[in-house]
Structure 1
Amino acid sequence: MSEPVIADTKPVVMELEPGTYYWCRCGRSQGQPFCDGSHQGTDFTPLAFEITETQKVALCLCKHTGNEPFCDGSHAGLK
């Protein structure tokens, strides 16, 4: 599988309303952290995730988290 593009070396913190979201796994989306279809032609697919109540989240932008789509601090070890 291809390596994702590192969109940023820190997470994006935002408040999300209840609903289904599609997190960009490839790092190419211009609408980070969400998918805009830029993965077409790659090995990547977006990750659908559900938010059931309004909450503040830290979404990964380095695309190396072990807890998709949430930041787990993996960006700290990237060069």
Structure 2
Amino acid sequence: MAGTYRLIALDMDGTLLTTDKRVSSATSAALRRLSDFGACATIATGRAYRELEPLRHDLAPARYAVCANGAVVMDLWEHRSVSV
């Protein structure tokens, strides 16, 4: 199964975040392991980009986030919009 998926889009609430709206260390480690298998983790959320900024370090290595219910795609590493 390794190497089958190239992109994995993950929701924030109820998926990546704990009930206290944090990213657990186990989740952060799992996101890092995705790149070992050649997959790209992407965040997909209804949240605005500014809500992701405090979590950006914990969400690494996810580079892109589809924010605001698909209205904008952000590059989390370069802090810029790549699509509007």
Q: TM tier, shorter chain?
A: under 0.3
TM-score, length of structure 1 as denominator length: 0.25
- Answer 1 or 2: which has greater helix percent: 2
TM-score, length of structure 2 as denominator length: 0.24
